Copies of this chain bind each other. A is one copy, B any other.
Amino acid sequence: MKRTFGEIYGILEGDVFKNRIELSLSKVHKPTQAGISGSENEGADSIVISGGYEDDEDYEDTIIYTGQGGRSDNSKFQVADQTLTRGNKALAISCEKGFPVRVTRGLRTIINDTDIFVYRYDGLYRVDKYWKDRGKSGFIIWRFRLTKIINEIDLHYNPILKEPKPIYGKSQRKEILIQRIVRDTYVSQQVKNLYDHKCQICGTTIETQTGFYVEAAHIQALGKPHNGPDIVENILCLCPNHHVMFDYGMISISNDFQILGLKNTVLSIHKNHNINVDFIKYHREHFYKETF
Protein backbone atom coordinates (compact mmCIF):
# COMPACT_ATOMS: atom_id res chain seq x y z
CA MET A 1 0.00 0.00 0.00
CA LYS A 2 1.61 3.18 -1.15
CA ARG A 3 1.67 6.09 1.22
CA THR A 4 0.17 9.36 -0.06
CA PHE A 5 2.43 12.39 0.29
CA GLY A 6 1.12 15.89 -0.30
CA GLU A 7 -2.45 17.11 -0.64
CA ILE A 8 -5.40 14.75 -0.33
CA TYR A 9 -7.88 15.12 -3.16
CA GLY A 10 -11.00 16.96 -1.99
CA ILE A 11 -9.52 18.23 1.27
CA LEU A 12 -8.94 21.94 1.73
CA GLU A 13 -6.58 23.59 4.15
CA GLY A 14 -8.73 24.71 7.08
CA ASP A 15 -11.10 21.72 6.90
CA VAL A 16 -12.21 20.65 10.35
CA PHE A 17 -12.79 17.11 11.65
CA LYS A 18 -14.77 16.18 14.74
CA ASN A 19 -12.46 13.48 15.97
CA ARG A 20 -9.53 11.24 15.09
CA ILE A 21 -11.79 8.67 13.41
CA GLU A 22 -13.20 11.26 11.04
CA LEU A 23 -9.70 12.62 10.44
CA SER A 24 -8.49 9.10 9.69
CA LEU A 25 -11.32 8.42 7.23
CA SER A 26 -10.46 11.64 5.37
CA LYS A 27 -6.96 10.18 4.75
CA VAL A 28 -5.36 13.38 5.99
CA HIS A 29 -3.88 11.45 8.93
CA LYS A 30 -4.64 7.74 8.95
CA PRO A 31 -3.52 6.55 12.41
CA THR A 32 -6.23 7.09 15.00
CA GLN A 33 -3.82 7.27 17.94
CA ALA A 34 -0.25 7.98 16.82
CA GLY A 35 0.83 11.57 16.26
CA ILE A 36 3.12 10.60 13.37
CA SER A 37 1.94 8.76 10.27
CA GLY A 38 4.87 7.10 8.54
CA SER A 39 7.18 4.15 8.34
CA GLU A 40 10.89 3.54 8.69
CA ASN A 41 11.40 2.98 4.99
CA GLU A 42 8.87 5.31 3.34
CA GLY A 43 9.15 8.43 5.50
CA ALA A 44 6.39 10.37 7.27
CA ASP A 45 3.40 11.80 5.41
CA SER A 46 1.50 13.53 8.23
CA ILE A 47 1.52 14.57 11.88
CA VAL A 48 -1.02 15.72 14.42
CA ILE A 49 -0.02 18.36 16.92
CA SER A 50 -2.43 18.42 19.82
CA GLY A 51 -0.79 20.88 22.11
CA GLY A 52 0.24 20.27 25.64
CA TYR A 53 3.37 18.20 25.12
CA GLU A 54 5.96 19.69 27.34
CA ASP A 55 8.56 20.00 24.62
CA ASP A 56 6.51 21.04 21.58
CA GLU A 57 6.63 24.63 20.39
CA ASP A 58 4.05 25.95 17.96
CA TYR A 59 4.65 29.25 16.17
CA GLU A 60 2.08 28.60 13.43
CA ASP A 61 4.31 28.71 10.34
CA THR A 62 7.15 27.09 12.25
CA ILE A 63 6.63 24.10 14.50
CA ILE A 64 9.21 22.52 16.77
CA TYR A 65 7.75 19.04 17.04
CA THR A 66 8.87 16.48 19.57
CA GLY A 67 9.23 12.88 18.45
CA GLN A 68 7.46 9.85 19.84
CA GLY A 69 8.40 7.32 22.47
CA GLY A 70 9.66 7.52 26.01
CA ARG A 71 6.40 8.78 27.43
CA SER A 72 4.48 7.03 30.17
CA ASP A 73 0.98 5.79 29.35
CA ASN A 74 -1.71 8.38 29.78
CA SER A 75 0.88 11.06 30.37
CA LYS A 76 2.48 13.79 28.42
CA PHE A 77 5.75 13.51 30.32
CA GLN A 78 8.98 11.84 29.28
CA VAL A 79 10.05 8.90 31.42
CA ALA A 80 12.72 7.46 29.10
CA ASP A 81 14.98 8.40 26.20
CA GLN A 82 13.55 8.60 22.69
CA THR A 83 15.34 6.88 19.81
CA LEU A 84 15.54 7.63 16.09
CA THR A 85 13.20 4.78 15.21
CA ARG A 86 9.61 4.34 14.00
CA GLY A 87 7.83 7.67 13.52
CA ASN A 88 10.92 9.65 14.46
CA LYS A 89 12.96 7.91 11.77
CA ALA A 90 10.09 8.45 9.33
CA LEU A 91 10.18 12.21 9.96
CA ALA A 92 13.97 12.26 9.56
CA ILE A 93 13.59 10.54 6.18
CA SER A 94 11.02 13.11 5.08
CA CYS A 95 13.55 15.78 6.05
CA GLU A 96 16.37 14.24 4.02
CA LYS A 97 14.22 13.47 0.99
CA GLY A 98 12.23 16.71 1.08
CA PHE A 99 8.82 15.04 1.38
CA PRO A 100 5.92 17.34 2.31
CA VAL A 101 4.17 16.54 5.60
CA ARG A 102 0.47 17.26 6.22
CA VAL A 103 -0.06 19.01 9.54
CA THR A 104 -3.28 18.77 11.54
CA ARG A 105 -3.79 20.69 14.76
CA GLY A 106 -6.04 19.61 17.59
CA LEU A 107 -7.59 22.72 19.12
CA ARG A 108 -10.48 24.06 21.14
CA THR A 109 -13.01 26.11 19.29
CA ILE A 110 -16.52 27.43 19.88
CA ILE A 111 -19.26 26.22 17.54
CA ASN A 112 -22.87 27.22 18.28
CA ASP A 113 -21.91 28.50 21.73
CA THR A 114 -20.36 25.16 22.60
CA ASP A 115 -16.69 24.81 23.44
CA ILE A 116 -15.46 21.73 21.58
CA PHE A 117 -12.18 20.07 20.65
CA VAL A 118 -11.65 19.55 16.90
CA TYR A 119 -8.92 18.69 14.42
CA ARG A 120 -8.09 21.22 11.72
CA TYR A 121 -5.99 20.42 8.65
CA ASP A 122 -3.42 23.20 8.34
CA GLY A 123 -1.64 22.38 5.09
CA LEU A 124 1.77 21.13 4.01
CA TYR A 125 4.99 21.63 5.89
CA ARG A 126 8.60 20.81 5.14
CA VAL A 127 10.80 19.16 7.81
CA ASP A 128 13.82 21.39 7.43
CA LYS A 129 15.94 20.16 10.33
CA TYR A 130 16.06 17.46 12.96
CA TRP A 131 18.24 17.04 16.02
CA LYS A 132 18.28 15.66 19.54
CA ASP A 133 17.99 17.46 22.79
CA ARG A 134 17.41 16.90 26.46
CA GLY A 135 13.77 17.58 27.15
CA LYS A 136 12.43 19.36 30.19
CA SER A 137 12.34 16.01 32.00
CA GLY A 138 16.04 15.40 31.35
CA PHE A 139 15.54 12.55 28.88
CA ILE A 140 16.72 12.55 25.28
CA ILE A 141 14.11 13.70 22.84
CA TRP A 142 14.23 14.00 19.05
CA ARG A 143 13.01 17.27 17.65
CA PHE A 144 11.90 18.29 14.18
CA ARG A 145 11.50 21.78 12.79
CA LEU A 146 8.63 22.00 10.31
CA THR A 147 8.16 25.08 8.14
CA LYS A 148 4.96 25.82 6.27
CA ILE A 149 5.14 25.52 2.51
CA ILE A 150 3.43 28.77 1.65
CA ASN A 151 3.68 29.27 -2.05
CA GLU A 152 3.53 26.67 -4.72
CA ILE A 153 6.09 28.33 -6.93
CA ASP A 154 8.90 26.82 -4.94
CA LEU A 155 7.32 23.42 -5.23
CA HIS A 156 6.27 23.48 -8.81
CA TYR A 157 8.55 25.80 -10.74
CA ASN A 158 5.25 27.36 -11.71
CA PRO A 159 5.37 25.80 -15.17
CA ILE A 160 2.00 27.15 -16.31
CA LEU A 161 1.48 30.51 -14.73
CA LYS A 162 -1.81 31.15 -16.39
CA GLU A 163 -3.27 28.04 -14.78
CA PRO A 164 -5.40 29.05 -11.81
CA LYS A 165 -4.70 27.48 -8.46
CA PRO A 166 -7.17 24.63 -8.09
CA ILE A 167 -10.07 25.32 -5.74
CA TYR A 168 -9.57 22.01 -4.06
CA GLY A 169 -7.65 18.84 -4.46
CA LYS A 170 -4.31 18.12 -5.92
CA SER A 171 -2.74 20.46 -8.40
CA GLN A 172 -2.32 19.08 -11.88
CA ARG A 173 1.16 20.51 -12.08
CA LYS A 174 4.25 18.41 -11.72
CA GLU A 175 5.21 18.01 -8.11
CA ILE A 176 8.70 19.17 -7.33
CA LEU A 177 10.06 18.33 -3.91
CA ILE A 178 12.58 20.54 -2.19
CA GLN A 179 15.26 18.17 -0.98
CA ARG A 180 17.57 20.76 0.44
CA ILE A 181 17.84 24.52 0.77
CA VAL A 182 21.33 25.91 1.17
CA ARG A 183 21.00 29.12 3.14
CA ASP A 184 23.62 31.76 3.32
CA THR A 185 24.14 35.26 4.75
CA TYR A 186 26.24 38.25 3.85
CA VAL A 187 28.58 37.49 6.75
CA SER A 188 29.24 34.06 5.23
CA GLN A 189 30.94 35.68 2.26
CA GLN A 190 33.75 36.87 4.54
CA VAL A 191 34.49 33.34 5.70
CA LYS A 192 34.42 32.02 2.14
CA ASN A 193 36.89 34.69 1.08
CA LEU A 194 39.17 33.89 4.01
CA TYR A 195 39.50 30.32 2.74
CA ASP A 196 39.67 31.19 -0.97
CA HIS A 197 36.47 29.16 -1.37
CA LYS A 198 38.21 25.93 -0.32
CA CYS A 199 36.57 23.37 1.96
CA GLN A 200 38.07 23.42 5.45
CA ILE A 201 37.86 19.63 5.59
CA CYS A 202 39.06 18.40 2.20
CA GLY A 203 40.38 21.49 0.41
CA THR A 204 37.95 21.02 -2.48
CA THR A 205 36.96 24.07 -4.42
CA ILE A 206 34.40 24.01 -7.20
CA GLU A 207 35.28 26.33 -10.03
CA THR A 208 32.37 27.91 -11.86
CA GLN A 209 32.21 30.20 -14.87
CA THR A 210 32.24 33.26 -12.62
CA GLY A 211 34.46 32.25 -9.72
CA PHE A 212 34.28 29.53 -7.12
CA TYR A 213 31.42 27.77 -5.38
CA VAL A 214 31.58 26.75 -1.76
CA GLU A 215 29.04 26.74 1.04
CA ALA A 216 28.91 28.33 4.45
CA ALA A 217 27.78 26.13 7.32
CA HIS A 218 26.53 27.73 10.50
CA ILE A 219 27.89 25.60 13.33
CA GLN A 220 25.14 26.38 15.85
CA ALA A 221 22.17 26.54 13.50
CA LEU A 222 20.34 29.79 12.75
CA GLY A 223 16.67 30.24 13.56
CA LYS A 224 14.41 28.79 16.20
CA PRO A 225 15.11 27.14 18.56
CA HIS A 226 18.90 27.09 18.14
CA ASN A 227 19.32 30.81 17.47
CA GLY A 228 22.98 30.54 16.54
CA PRO A 229 24.47 33.93 15.75
CA ASP A 230 25.39 35.03 12.23
CA ILE A 231 29.03 35.81 12.96
CA VAL A 232 32.26 34.49 11.45
CA GLU A 233 33.08 32.65 14.70
CA ASN A 234 30.01 30.45 14.04
CA ILE A 235 30.61 29.70 10.35
CA LEU A 236 32.60 27.05 8.50
CA CYS A 237 33.53 27.02 4.83
CA LEU A 238 32.63 23.57 3.43
CA CYS A 239 32.16 21.84 0.08
CA PRO A 240 28.59 20.68 -0.56
CA ASN A 241 29.41 17.04 0.33
CA HIS A 242 30.91 17.87 3.71
CA HIS A 243 28.15 20.41 4.34
CA VAL A 244 25.53 17.68 3.94
CA MET A 245 27.51 15.39 6.27
CA PHE A 246 27.84 18.18 8.84
CA ASP A 247 24.16 19.15 8.71
CA TYR A 248 22.98 15.56 9.06
CA GLY A 249 25.31 14.92 11.99
CA MET A 250 27.60 12.33 10.37
CA ILE A 251 30.58 14.52 11.21
CA SER A 252 31.26 17.07 13.92
CA ILE A 253 34.27 18.76 15.48
CA SER A 254 36.14 18.13 18.72
CA ASN A 255 37.43 20.94 20.90
CA ASP A 256 40.90 20.44 19.40
CA PHE A 257 39.39 20.67 15.89
CA GLN A 258 39.63 17.00 14.91
CA ILE A 259 36.86 15.96 12.53
CA LEU A 260 34.74 13.48 14.44
CA GLY A 261 33.42 10.79 12.12
CA LEU A 262 36.43 10.90 9.78
CA LYS A 263 39.72 9.23 10.62
CA ASN A 264 42.79 11.40 11.22
CA THR A 265 41.32 14.53 9.73
CA VAL A 266 41.82 17.97 11.19
CA LEU A 267 39.84 21.08 10.34
CA SER A 268 41.96 23.63 8.46
CA ILE A 269 41.70 26.94 10.25
CA HIS A 270 42.93 30.29 9.01
CA LYS A 271 44.89 32.25 11.61
CA ASN A 272 42.33 35.07 11.44
CA HIS A 273 39.36 32.76 11.98
CA ASN A 274 38.52 32.35 15.65
CA ILE A 275 36.01 29.55 15.75
CA ASN A 276 34.13 29.59 19.03
CA VAL A 277 34.20 26.21 20.79
CA ASP A 278 30.80 26.85 22.42
CA PHE A 279 29.19 26.63 18.99
CA ILE A 280 31.12 23.44 18.20
CA LYS A 281 29.94 21.96 21.48
CA TYR A 282 26.35 22.83 20.58
CA HIS A 283 26.65 21.08 17.22
CA ARG A 284 28.24 18.02 18.83
CA GLU A 285 25.56 17.74 21.49
CA HIS A 286 22.54 18.30 19.26
CA PHE A 287 23.51 17.04 15.82
CA TYR A 288 26.40 14.59 15.98
CA LYS A 289 25.32 10.96 15.60
CA GLU A 290 27.50 9.66 18.44
CA THR A 291 26.31 12.12 21.08
CA PHE A 292 24.94 11.05 24.51
Contacts and interface: CB of A to CB of B under 8 A. Distances in A.
A112 to B, nearest CB: 31
Interface stretch (A46-54, A113-121, A175-183, A275-283): A175-183
For this chain, the copies found in one complex come to 2
A206 interface: yes
B210 A93 contact: yes
Given A184-B98, A223-B159, A243 B244 contact: no
A96 interface: yes
A157 B150 CA distance: 13
Contact of A244 (B183, B206, B222, B230): B206
A157 B223 contact: yes
Interface residues of A, number: 61
A75 interface: no
A209 B249 CA distance: 8
A240 interface: yes
A122 to B, nearest CB: 14
Interface in A239-265: 239-241, 243-245, 248-250
Interface in A87-117: 89, 92-93, 96-98
Nearest to A186: B175
Contact of A208 (B96, B151, B161, B227): B96
A244 to B, nearest CB: 5
A204 interface: yes
A92 B240 CA distance: 19
Nearest to A222: B157
Interface of A: 5, 59-62, 84, 89, 92-93, 96-98, 147-148, 150-151, 153-154, 157-159, 161, 174-186, 189, 204, 206-211, 213, 215-216, 222-224, 227, 230, 239-241, 243-245, 248-250, 289
